[in-house]
Structure 1
Amino acid sequence: MSLYASPLFAPLRPWLERLPEAPDSLALAALAEAFPVTTETGQTIRFAPPVADGRAYECRIWESGQVETRPDNWHDFFNGLVWLAFPLTKLAITRSHVAAFRPTQADGRGMVRDGLTHFDECGIVILSTRPELLELLRAFAWKELFVTRRAEVETCMRFVVFGHATYEQLLAPFRGLTAKGLLFEIEPDFLALPTEQQQPELDRRLAARIEQDFAGATPLRPRDLQPLPLLGIPGLTPDNADPAYYDDTWQFRPGRRQAVGV
């Protein structure tokens, strides 16, 4: 069975199909040359080995286009693939990092950059044509959402992984694997779009949300993102066909009754 059998690899699948089933950094770099992504500063994104030049990771990307990519490393390999699949969003994240960078701070970070990094690493986009399903998610009403309303979830919701650390974890998913989501109420026509049209449109909308939610007057904190236990998504594991699967309160916690959406 392919390492990428999970349906959650769907956003990366067009790129994965062009690459060996291994974290091949040279093949990734060649793919980036064939499908270039350009920053607003005119730099072309390149995946290259780390360098010790004293610059912050995101500042280096913005100034030179160089994305530090450790050779044959799964984490960095998936980061590169997300750059290809969601270029506008990755550019928005990088731009927001640079705008929020404060070299006078001990680590140059702060709340804005912490939130951006959290979503960049383990973010997921949760789409629904029915706002009441998003409300159940916000309320951590796992059984009502994934058991009682299961058929609606399957037809009216989509779960799109963004975080490259989450993609790495999906190579060997485990009980309790959780992504952190941004919620979108969408129109039914959007879900009907062919993948080749849906993906760039989602990238555009997500990039706008990054600018709105992380770079605004009240930026999101990591704890403001909606936790989602990935193995609860219908069909992601055969075990969750049994309603009793959701009685596992260690995995499906009652939560804090607060999350962020639209």
Structure 2
Amino acid sequence: MSAPGFGGIDWRRPWFAGLAQPGQELAGLIVGGASVADALNTCGGPVRFLPQEALPDGEAYEAFIFRTGCVPTRNNLHDFFNGLMWLSRPALKRRLNELQAAQIAQAGVGATRGPVRDALTLFDENAALLQAPAELVQALRERQWRRLFIDDRALWARARLELFGHALLEKLVTPYKSITAHVWVVEEGAAPDLGLTPEGLAPKPFLPLPVLGVPGWWPANEAPAFYDDAEVFRPHRRAARLPA
């Protein structure tokens, strides 16, 4: 099997923390010729990974996973990181799948996803999970970037940021400054599935976070001027409308 990109993943990057040990071993199997599905199945996880061709024509991907407990998987980085998240965050992945399947059963698969399915997809593809002091969370809500990353920089030592979205992780194989996660703030003591509900997801209560701004994650952000790039660290819309 051709395995473009799998040999070039730098597992020492901080955003791959928690995934490095299984990820490096599985990527090695794929570079050695295993399919992504076969490599993931060596871990004996909560689901079984099948070739993409196993998905029947006309059946929705999420509905198939819910019905069979099997995940159709292509031989690419995107589906590889999806599989890693099934292995590392099974309760959360299962909850997302349950909610997607329920939405599909209720409304079918139409031209538009609807607010709940849209939020679920955004979560699955691009979410980051943040537990942090209230000061950091408030600064992030208000897009107060200098306060978040410079004035209160020391508070990041008490924060925990876990990247979850598999598309987000795929982008960070080749990092660039504007990569932005959709942060879900995690309350202390939250259940493994975060207690996700349709009502809580529909308003899309995500907070945008350019991940290379996280202290310790990118050498260039040691310089305060790194955060002056308004194309990446955009002001809150309310602040942007204020007169000069």
Residue 219 of structure 1: how far off its partner (Å): 3.4
| RCO higher in structure (CA 8 A, sep ≥6) | 1
The superposition leaves residues 132-171 of structure 1 with CA deviations (integer Å, 9 ceiling, x where unpaired) of 2211111111111111111111x11121000000110001
Which of 246-255 and 14-23 deviates more? 14-23
2:129 corresponds in structure 1 to 125
1:236 is aligned to 2:240: no
| Cα gap change, 1:248 to 1:27, in 2 (>3 Å) | closer
Q: How far does the alpha carbon of each residue in 1:198-253 deviate from its partner, in whole angstroms, 9 at most, with x for none?
A: xxxxxx735133x23xx23x53344x311000111012211100011111111101
Alignment of 1:215-254 (within 5 A): 215-216=198-199, 219-222=201-204, 224-254=205-235
Contact 1:126 1:182 in 2 (8 A): yes
Cα distance change of structure 1 residues 235 and 246 upon mapping to structure 2, 3 Å threshold: same
2:25 counterpart SS class: coil
Contact 1:139 1:257 in 2 (8 A): no
Residues 47 and 80 in structure 1, CA contact (< 8 A), matched pair in contact too? no
Q: Provide the residue aligned with 1:114 in structure 2.
A: 118
Alpha-carbon contact 1:62-1:94 (below 8 Å) kept? yes
The answer to whether the 8 Å contact 2:12/2:20 transfers is no
Alignment-mate amino acid for residue 143 of structure 2: F
1:21–1:173: structure 2 CA closer, same or farther, 3 Å change rule? farther
Residue 182 of structure 2 aligns to a residue whose secondary structure is strand
1:205 aligns with 2:191: yes
TM-score (norm 1): 0.78
1:27 deviation in Å? 5.6
1:63 aligns to what? 67
Structure 2 CA distance, aligned partners of 1:46 and 1:121?
A: 18
**Count of aligned pairs between the two proteins:** 228
Partner residue of 1:49? Answer: 52
Amino acid paired to 1:11: G
Matched residue, 2:78 = 75
Matched-pair contact (CA < 8 Å) for 1:114–1:221: no
**8 Å contact 1:49–1:70 — kept in the other structure?**
yes
Question: What is the rounded CA distance, in whole Å, between the counterparts of 1:141 and 1:29 in structure 2?
Answer: 45
Decide which of 3, 10, 15 is 1:8's aligned counterpart: 15
Q: Distance in 1 between matches of 2:83 and 2:19?
A: 10
What residue is the counterpart of 2:5 in the other structure? none
1:145 and 2:148 correspond: yes
Contact 1:19/1:28, CA 8 A, preserved across alignment? no
Query: What is the aligned partner in structure 2 of residue 171 from structure 1?
Result: 173
CA distance in 1, matches of 2:192, 2:208: 18
**1:105 shift after superposition:** 5.4
**Amino acid across the alignment from 1:228:** L
Q: Structure 1 residues 158 and 256, CA, compared in 2 at 3 Å: closer, same or farther?
A: farther
Task: Report what 1:186 is aligned to.
Answer: 188
> Does structure 2 conserve the Cα–Cα contact (< 8 Å) formed by 1:231 and 1:240?
yes
Q: Give the residue type in structure 1 aligned to 2:45.
A: P
Q: Secondary structure at the match of 1:186?
A: coil
% identical aligned pairs = 35
